[in-house]
Chains A and B, each alone.
Chain A
Amino acid sequence: MLELSNVNVYYGPIHAVKNISLKIEEGEIVTLIGANGAGKSTTLKSISGLEKCEAGEIKFRGENIHSLTPTNIVKLGISYVPEGRRIFSKMTVMENLEMGAYTRKDKKGVKEDFEKIFSLFPRLKERKEQIAGTLSGGEQQMLAIGRGLMSRPQLLLLDEPSMGLAPIIVKEIFSIIENINKEGISILLVEQNANMALKVSDRAYIIRNGEIELEGKSKEMLEDERVKKAYLEG
């Protein structure tokens, strides 16, 4: 459903993403793993329209999206949950979710989706009227994912959802990611926690210095000696 061909992104003089090609089929969880600064987040930002893709093509369901604005990309059904959660800290939990549904006009559907999010994350329901900045790290991540789902995406881009969270919360978040995928939403997951990411995903790409170094089935990657050495041990 999503296909990147030879995508290049620059941060000023820095060539952050070099000729990256990857694709995601309907219903898949695909993970993009790599070290800090390898170009993972930049790739997601270029898909969501926050960073300009200077050369190459990004196609979503056959349509070229690399010159669209973030707003139009959301409307097409791609939702990006940014690194570091970036919830609207001074707004309430409910207002954050409402912002997630900003582009939608179907009030009834939006209402149903609030309930859906609350059943997925019961803790958010209890804290509906709370200021989002007062939530714990795990709850903030849940809110960020919930907010991302409120646009009713077909493809969810998750940027380091496990960052800074306790192992038990990380497990919870990953099981939620699997549940979201079971609802039919395809997921592109960027992670530094390669172990967890490979366990929940179907396929994986390993990115290094802005280039794809390795790609394949996640199960096979978990057994791959090179991957084990570089990303799974220690």
Chain B
Amino acid sequence: MEQVLQQLINGISLGSIYALIALGYTMVYGIINLINFAHGDIYMIGAYVGYAVTRFLGLGFVPALLISMATCSILGILIEKVAYKPLRNASRISALITAIAVSLFLQYTMMYFVKPDTRTFPDVLSSNKISILGGKALLDTKNIYIILITIVLMLLLQYVVLKTKIGKAMRAVALDKDVAQLMGVDINRIISFTFAIGSALAGAAGVLVGVYYNTINPLMGTVPGLKAFVAAVLGGIGLIPGAVFGGFFLGMVETLVSAYGGSIFKDAVAFGILIIVLLIKPSGLLGKTVKEKV
């Protein structure tokens, strides 16, 4: 019982990271129907920005988080403008292939500049172990930070999407681009904004991972990027609550699988879930099955 509890705490932390990345996948998909495979690499760059800010500028955790989010949102906007915008009316497969190219470009450009070695992330968050439930489980303060920051970011996102003018415009564009334009919405601005927000969340996830696991490297975005993609599909691609649900679900499953002796299978389990979801309910667990209009 104690072990399950302990693992659940770890699972929620890992799930937070997946959920933050998955949100960017799902929002971009919702707006332009593109699986942005470079998204995991934006998360990697977020981790490196956080590393640079803490190591070389000597700033603390919060400034690192904010600077990384800002940098990543600018990067996200740039990537969209340079790589995806010219392909807006091209076939979806062209955009998808381009996304993979952007992903490789980011990975190996970073590798050129920062070297392929793993680096140790500075210890900017003090880590105290608190024993809870009468010593039955240990709660690392880092877990609490990760979970709290994720919740705050998600609430902020929820507020922006549901209550603000630009959030409403985003939803309108996701539902019907032509009509949104007729209302006077500048589609390009909304797409940029979506990339900015999604990338900022990935940047935050990058810093959180650096702080939590302490090591970063230029290829660190690949597997979590794919896992977050699984999470987004699992919850229902295009749905914000779906990404959050999928992220936490996958984080838990993975942690529990590793805890009970299956750690070499944990990736297989994650992708196995993807296959099962695609076979049984391709619209995702929270998605409604939509009939193609003829």
- Residues of A contacting B183 with CB < 8 Å? 74, 99-100, 102-103, 147, 151
CB pair B171 A90 closer than 8 Å: yes
Nearest CB in chain A: distance from B17 CB, A: 28
Interchain CB contact (< 8 A) of A99 among B178, B180, B186: B180
Q: How far is the CA of A79 from the CA of B184 in the complex (A)?
A: 10
- Residues of B contacting A103 with CB < 8 Å? 183-184
Q: How far is the CA of A189 from the CA of B185 in the complex (A)?
A: 24
Contacts A88-B171, A88-B175, A91-B171; A102 near B184 (Cβ below 8 A):
yes
CB pair A88 B179 closer than 8 Å: yes
CB pair A86 B181 closer than 8 Å: no
CB pair A102 B185 closer than 8 Å: yes
Most central of A69, A71, A103 by chain B CB within 10 Å = A71
Closest-by-CB residue of A relative to B179 is A86
Q: How far is the CA of A100 from the CA of B180 in the complex (A)?
A: 9
Question: Considering the complex, which residues of chain A in the window 89-109 have a beta carbon less than 8 Å from any beta carbon of chain B?
Answer: 89-91, 95, 98-100, 102-103
CB pair A99 B181 closer than 8 Å: no
Closest-by-CB residue of B relative to A71 is B184
Say yes or no for A217: interface residue by CB 8 A criterion.
no
Question: Considering the complex, which residues of chain B in the window 158-178 have a beta carbon less than 8 Å from any beta carbon of chain A?
Answer: 165, 168-169, 171-172, 175-176, 178
Say yes or no for A199: interface residue by CB 8 A criterion.
no
Closest-by-CB residue of B relative to A144 is B179
- Residues of A contacting B181 with CB < 8 Å? 50, 69-71
Say yes or no for B132: interface residue by CB 8 A criterion.
no
Contacts A95-B168, A102-B165; A71 near B185 (Cβ below 8 A):
yes
- Residues of B contacting A71 with CB < 8 Å? 181, 184-186
Number of interface residues of B (CB under 8 A): 16
Say yes or no for B280: interface residue by CB 8 A criterion.
no
Q: Report the 5 A-B pairs with minimum CB-CB distance, sorted nearest first.
A: A103-B184, A74-B184, A70-B181, A71-B184, A102-B183
Say yes or no for A60: interface residue by CB 8 A criterion.
no
CB pair A50 B168 closer than 8 Å: no
Nearest CB in chain A: distance from B30 CB, A: 11
Say yes or no for A82: interface residue by CB 8 A criterion.
yes
Nearest CB in chain B: distance from A124 CB, A: 17
CB pair B178 A50 closer than 8 Å: yes
CB pair A80 B182 closer than 8 Å: yes
Known contacts A48-B182, A99-B169; 15 additional CB pairs below 8 A are A71-B185, A71-B186, A74-B183, A74-B184, A86-B178, A88-B179, A90-B171, A91-B168, A91-B171, A95-B171, A99-B185, A102-B183, A102-B184, A103-B184, A147-B183
Q: How far is the CA of A89 from the CA of B181 in the complex (A)?
A: 16
Interface residues of A (CB under 8 A from B): 48, 50, 69-71, 74-75, 79-80, 82, 86, 88-91, 95, 98-100, 102-103, 147, 151
User: What are 14 A-B interface contacts by the 8 Å CB criterion?
Assistant: A50-B178, A70-B181, A70-B184, A71-B181, A71-B185, A80-B182, A82-B182, A86-B178, A88-B176, A89-B175, A95-B171, A99-B185, A102-B169, A103-B184
- Residues of A contacting B175 with CB < 8 Å? 88-91
Nearest CB in chain B: distance from A72 CB, A: 8
Q: How far is the CA of A82 from the CA of B180 in the complex (A)?
A: 11
Most central of B171, B179, B182 by chain A CB within 10 Å = B182
- Residues of B contacting A100 with CB < 8 Å? 183
Q: How far is the CA of A75 from the CA of B182 in the complex (A)?
A: 10
Nearest CB in chain B: distance from A39 CB, A: 18
Q: How far is the CA of A80 from the CA of B165 in the complex (A)?
A: 21
- Residues of B contacting A74 with CB < 8 Å? 182-184
- Residues of A contacting B169 with CB < 8 Å? 99, 102
- Residues of A contacting B176 with CB < 8 Å? 86, 88
- Residues of A contacting B185 with CB < 8 Å? 71, 99, 102
CB pair A91 B182 closer than 8 Å: no
Interchain CB contact (< 8 A) of A82 among B171, B179, B184: B179
Q: How far is the CA of A75 from the CA of B175 in the complex (A)?
A: 22
Nearest CB in chain B: distance from A234 CB, A: 27
Nearest CB in chain A: distance from B174 CB, A: 9
Q: How far is the CA of A99 from the CA of B171 in the complex (A)?
A: 10
Q: How far is the CA of A75 from the CA of B183 in the complex (A)?
A: 9
CB pair A50 B182 closer than 8 Å: yes
Q: How far is the CA of A86 from the CA of B175 in the complex (A)?
A: 9
Question: Considering the complex, which residues of chain B in the window 178-232 have a beta carbon less than 8 Å from any beta carbon of chain A?
Answer: 178-186
Nearest CB in chain A: distance from B233 CB, A: 20
Q: How far is the CA of A50 from the CA of B180 in the complex (A)?
A: 11
Q: How far is the CA of A147 from the CA of B184 in the complex (A)?
A: 12
- Residues of A contacting B178 with CB < 8 Å? 50, 82, 86
